Structure 1
Amino acid sequence: MIAVLGGGVSGLAAAHYLNCLGLSTKILVIEASNRLGGWINSLKHEDGTIYELGPRTLRVAGNAGANTLALAESLGLTERISSINYSHVSTKNRMILVDGKLHMLPNNLKTVFTKNPPFSKPLAISALSDFSAKKVINTDESLFSFVNRRFGLEVAKYAIDPLTRGVFAGNARDLSVTSLARRMHDVEQQYGSILIGLLKDRKNAEKADPVLSKSKLVKQAKKEKWAVWSLKGGLESFVEVLEEKLMQEGVEFRRNTPVLGIKRSGSNLVIQTDKEELEVEKAISCLPSNTLSPVIRSISPELSRLLGSIPYVTVCVVNLEYPGHLLNEPAFGYLVPSSQPNKVLGVIFDTCTFPQGDKTILTVMMGGYWFKTLFGDNPSDESLLDVAINEVKETLKISIKPVRHKISILTDCIPQYVVGHSEIVFNSRKLVKDLKLPLTLAGNSYDGVGVNDAIMSAKRAVLSL
């Protein structure tokens, strides 16, 4: 028996890729909660309105993006895809909020060469700083520090800082450049300049996977210049179809079954739950590292310590629904730099990307790295809703009350790839190998926090068995 620990999207993907190997052994997915899919969660109202409580779109770029598209095609989801190309307003228009005003980020060649507030000079001028910036030899540093050194404080403050808040709900001053922008760091270390290095080092840029490139859906996405995509009925449809296929193919699921411990039994592992002990030949852990940490302690305190050293942040997501089309400036939404006094990370304009009739649906993101500082340990739903509504009222000038809302506190939902993260992951996997454990680590704790990254991490884990 092979056990997959965790029934989030990486766990389901691991089970799928294991099944594709045609193994004769049984595949078992063990999930602590009563549902599968992890943070992918689409709330479907009776009138057909959909709120995304977690991830809402998937990027197309790179082999990880192509891999998810190929998986969607194999699941028969092609006709259910809703795609957005690079010319769409929600792809082009992205804003930041500075000093109470919304500013459009440069999105074409003309605006890169034009001075756009809050930047005091054109971004093209900031880019030239890279040629004169001194190389600092290191193995890692914060993303904020790296960009500040190479391109100046404004780029770090108004581009990188809000971007990391939107993607990681994290602090760019803590997050690792080698984990989040390794190629930029590598070429700087080798050539002394990012721009020169990217030109000279083109041979080492990611090449398109020739197998994935044969997918009809990947070809269609490339031809039609898709930027992102989702599914009619919400992104959770992806999880539902994948789950159904796995069940049809004989994969077994144990819900409401938290893993309480892992022991050795000769060359096998024993997975301890509150219901039973399961002896397995191999296990792929797609559990968050902070969940795996205590259950692996009896085998290796050092591995437990390494896994437990990866921090996580909690995000509050507030979905707000208003009647009519109320946005003056169509866009993907806006992000708020950490230098601003606002309590929100950003606001996503959901119905600009995927309209849902005569209504405006917004998603307000709050907390992350700053959750406890801003909201304490147990904020009330009413207080969180007030913050979200007041933000929309003050910034977007929407003064009417929402007709419907949903408040979700996603506890420890995003791992933080702080400086030294790559070393932690490397040492953790090396220790598993040195201990000769039939265990593989996969998921968004290690190889990227996005859905595409989690699926690709699961695929690589299976192929490494």
Structure 2
Amino acid sequence: MAVAVLGGGVSGLAAAHYLHMGHAQTGRVVVVEATNRLGGWINTTTHSDGVVYEHGPRTLRVMGNAGANTLALAESLGLTDRVVAVPYSHPSARNRMILVGGKLHMLPNSLKTALKRTPPFSRPLALSALSDLKTKPVLNADESLFSFVRRRFGLEVAKYAIDPLARGVFAGNARDLSVMSLAKRLHQVEQKHGSVLLGLLKDRKNAEKPDSELAKSELVQKARKERWAVWSVEGGLEELVKTLERRNLEDGVEVRKNTKVKGIVHSGKKLVVQTDDEELEVEKVISCLPANSLSTVVKKMNPDLSRLLGSIPFVTVGVVNLEYTGHLVDKPAFGYLVPSSEPNRVLGVIFDTCTFPQGDRTIFTVMMGGYWFNSIFGDSPTEQDMLDAATYEIRQTLGITCDPDRYVVKILPDCIPQYIVGHLENVSNSRQLLRDHRLPLVLAGNSYDGVGMNDTIMSSKRAVYDYL
């Protein structure tokens, strides 16, 4: 059986790897990538002196089966000795701040701090949590993340916790993002039991069960024993991509770079993938393309599918890495996020060298734009525009007035899909269309079942084992 994997990001590379690892009927596997590099938005710069900048994802969480799966993958690729772990006790795992009124505020990170009033909150977070117990449920199929949290826990929690979190993780507007897509279990237990807190207690039997096979991984066992919060790889996360690429090539996977998919044609029980260079006739296609790209590719083959996929919005993010001499952070932390209610052009600032020190230097990553990119920066900002905004932010908020010694500016167009209200229904309808028309096309990647790297890798694994 021949399989085409569309997209050479981490999800496409993972899909090709899992095809060879566990699907005995797979013969030829071809990965088709439009650009001259693999890895998608995972992008690491390593300078000549060894200093590393991350322009996309920089760490991976350990929690859940998706987190365990990526750890097990790293172990199977021989990366165990190169994994760099950050335990929950580390300041960058414990300390997270928000910027409100021009001041940085540490978010509560323990039961003790949750029982105290911590600015900008007007009352202890524990009292906000208890408000869930006396709030009546609102029965619905989906609603915005902001609306859900505001109903259950109050405006301040929605405004100062959930809003900046949505900006930091999804570069999105919590007032549009779907609670069913991003906090499905919380919504489900409220709908079933009338309360989030009581529902989580009563519904424990339906919580995600640890995968017994993944638990056998020595790296997973080590991470759980040592209570890792997040991890990365020496040299940056692109090393995971490069290792996946090498393993796939060793396994005989054909990789086509600089090859854009123009269309897909249904031919009997097969699909024909059309590119500028050739037509690939295959029995199965795993698409790890962004939904907006796949929408164009399938437009002639299935206009209804194209319409559904095209309705998933994407946002553009500006990322600026700034490097300074010396240790310039007074309070070690992961960094800070900025609520959308603040008159500020940035989404947040990551204190990179608090998590992974790199000698006598301080490195920040400033994230900008997202849902608000065009309204703030216009249609065609320059790299200088982004640099000026980033350095201004560091001067204003952190008081660092010197110019950076070194910097890299990246503008990442349409890099994060937005799971707006109704997203799960949209994805379900898309997959149902594929089944109804008996199209041997499987949807994977970050457009559907989670935007995080762990989720995208898991989606590729499921595409191989559940659908093929």
- Scaled by the length of structure 2, the TM-score of the pair is 0.99
**C-alpha distance in 2 between matches for 1:335 and 1:350:** 14
1:384 Cα offset (Å): 1.1
Partner of 1:13: 14
**C-alpha distance in 1 between matches for 2:218 and 2:384:** 48
Q: Secondary structure at the match of 1:269?
A: strand
Q: Secondary structure at the match of 2:35?
A: coil
Q: Secondary structure at the match of 2:231?
A: strand
Partner of 1:226: 228
**C-alpha distance in 1 between matches for 2:26 and 2:448:** 29
Q: Secondary structure at the match of 1:221?
A: helix
Q: Secondary structure at the match of 1:462?
A: helix
Q: Deviations over 1:241-277 (max 9, x none)?
A: 1100110110010000010000011110010101111
1:298 Cα offset (Å): 1.1
1:387-426 to structure 2, matched below 5 A, reads 387-426=389-428
Query: Which range moves more in the overlay, 22-31 or 46-55?
Result: 22-31
Q: Which residue of the other structure, out of 297, 308, 333, is the alignment partner of 1:306?
A: 308
Partner of 1:60: 62
Asked if residue 195 in structure 1 is aligned to residue 197 in structure 2, the reply is yes
Asked if residue 355 in structure 1 is aligned to residue 366 in structure 2, the reply is no
**C-alpha distance in 2 between matches for 1:451 and 1:296:** 25
Q: Secondary structure at the match of 1:95?
A: strand
Partner of 1:3: 4
**C-alpha distance in 2 between matches for 1:300 and 1:242:** 33
Partner of 2:432: 430
Partner of 1:344: 346
1:230-269 to structure 2, matched below 5 A, reads 230-269=232-271
Alpha carbons 2:19, 2:26 under 8 Å: kept? no
1:11 Cα offset (Å): 0.3
**C-alpha distance in 2 between matches for 1:282 and 1:383:** 44
In the TM superposition, structure 1's runs of 4+ consecutive aligned residues that sit over 4 Å from their partners are none
**C-alpha distance in 1 between matches for 2:204 and 2:249:** 44
Q: Secondary structure at the match of 2:173?
A: coil
Q: Deviations over 1:108-129 (max 9, x none)?
A: 1100000000000000000011
Q: Secondary structure at the match of 2:280?
A: strand
**C-alpha distance in 2 between matches for 1:32 and 1:94:** 37
Q: Which residue of the other structure, out of 441, 445, 448, is the alignment partner of 1:446?
A: 448
**C-alpha distance in 1 between matches for 2:92 and 2:274:** 47
**C-alpha distance in 2 between matches for 1:46 and 1:107:** 38
Residue identity matched to 1:145: S
Residue identity matched to 1:362: F
1:135-174 to structure 2, matched below 5 A, reads 135-174=137-176
Residue identity matched to 1:175: L
Partner of 2:388: 386
Q: Secondary structure at the match of 1:379?
A: coil
1:311-330 to structure 2, matched below 5 A, reads 311-330=313-332
**C-alpha distance in 1 between matches for 2:173 and 2:251:** 43
- Scaled by the length of structure 1, the TM-score of the pair is 1.00
1:22 Cα offset (Å): 3.2
**C-alpha distance in 1 between matches for 2:185 and 2:385:** 42
**C-alpha distance in 2 between matches for 1:359 and 1:247:** 37
Q: Secondary structure at the match of 2:116?
A: coil
Residue identity matched to 1:453: D
Partner of 1:130: 132
Q: Secondary structure at the match of 2:294?
A: helix
Partner of 2:463: 461
**C-alpha distance in 1 between matches for 2:155 and 2:68:** 34
Q: Secondary structure at the match of 1:55?
A: coil
Partner of 2:38: 36
Q: Secondary structure at the match of 2:75?
A: helix
1:278 Cα offset (Å): 1.1
Alpha carbons 2:83, 2:231 under 8 Å: kept? yes
Asked if residue 116 in structure 1 is aligned to residue 122 in structure 2, the reply is no
1:383 Cα offset (Å): 1.5
Residue identity matched to 1:445: S
1:24 Cα offset (Å): 4.8
**C-alpha distance in 1 between matches for 2:148 and 2:175:** 10
**C-alpha distance in 2 between matches for 1:385 and 1:287:** 30
Q: Which residue of the other structure, out of 283, 286, 299, is the alignment partner of 1:281?
A: 283
Q: Which residue of the other structure, out of 74, 77, 84, is the alignment partner of 2:76?
A: 74
**C-alpha distance in 2 between matches for 1:53 and 1:294:** 27
Q: Secondary structure at the match of 1:22?
A: coil
Alpha carbons 2:55, 2:321 under 8 Å: kept? yes
1:67 Cα offset (Å): 0.1
Q: Which runs of 5+ in 1 are unaligned?
A: none
Alpha carbons 2:98, 2:164 under 8 Å: kept? yes
Residue identity matched to 2:150: N
Partner of 1:205: 207
Q: Secondary structure at the match of 2:140?
A: coil
Q: CA 1:206/1:180 → structure 2, altered by over 3 Å: closer, same or farther? A: same
Q: Which runs of 5+ in 2 are unaligned?
A: none
Q: Secondary structure at the match of 2:388?
A: helix
**C-alpha distance in 2 between matches for 1:282 and 1:348:** 41
What is the aligned residue count?
465
Alpha carbons 2:265, 2:273 under 8 Å: kept? yes
Alpha carbons 2:345, 2:389 under 8 Å: kept? yes
Asked if residue 290 in structure 1 is aligned to residue 319 in structure 2, the reply is no
Partner of 2:92: 90
Query: Which range moves more in the overlay, 13-22 or 343-352?
Result: 13-22
Q: Deviations over 1:151-175 (max 9, x none)?
A: 0000000000000000000000000
Q: Which residue of the other structure, out of 175, 178, 191, is the alignment partner of 2:177?
A: 175
